[in-house]
Structure 1
Amino acid sequence: MKHVHSSRPTFWQICFSVLAALFGVQSEKARARDFTQGNPIPYIVIGIIFIVLFVVLIALAVRLMLFIAA
């Protein structure tokens, strides 16, 4: 079994892990780091923020397309 680094992930590592998970391309090394870190709260909060941003961006894109088409 590979050695997993035991320190807490950085903010950017959490962001990249959440994005990779949303796209379904998470590496085994990052997944192991995420699950051994022990605190799911940062991942949940950042995941919710990314999903809200995604929905807002889609809504803005639709409004822009409707404005252009009108």
Structure 2
Amino acid sequence: MNDVTDNNNNDQRPRSPGVLKIMQSILAGAFGVQSDKRRQEDFSHHSPLPYIIAGILFTVAFVGGLIIVVKLVLAGQ
């Protein structure tokens, strides 16, 4: 009887978002085109931790990319 109850509880637990959905939300937020509806959807059913981690990684990669581009441009002068 516990097995049936456990299976019903697992069906009610929200699934974690996929990597593609997290990346799409991070990029849309970074460019300022994230809709309020999508933002609320992202954070209403899921833990914000994957979005925070992805946002930090995106920011580090973005700043690193800018540093590399500036160094390449300045080296060419």
Q: State whether structure 2 residue 34 is matched by structure 1 residue 26.
A: yes
Deviation at 1:33, TM superposition (A): 1.8
Q: CA RMSD in A?
A: 1.4
Alignment correspondent of 1:3: none
- Which contiguous aligned blocks of 4+ residues in structure 1 show a shift greater than 6 angstroms? none
TM-score by length of 2: 0.73
Change (3 A) 1:16 1:26: same
Structure 2 unmatched ranges of 5 or more: 1-13
Q: State whether structure 2 residue 44 is matched by structure 1 residue 36.
A: yes
Deviation at 1:22, TM superposition (A): 1.2
Change (3 A) 1:29 1:9: farther
Letter in 2 for 1:12: L
Contact 1:9 1:37 survives alignment (8 Å): no
Q: State whether structure 2 residue 75 is matched by structure 1 residue 67.
A: yes
Structure 1 unmatched ranges of 5 or more: 1-5
Structure index of larger Rg: 2
Letter in 2 for 1:68: G
Deviation at 1:36, TM superposition (A): 1.2
Change (3 A) 1:54 1:21: same
Count, aligned residues: 64
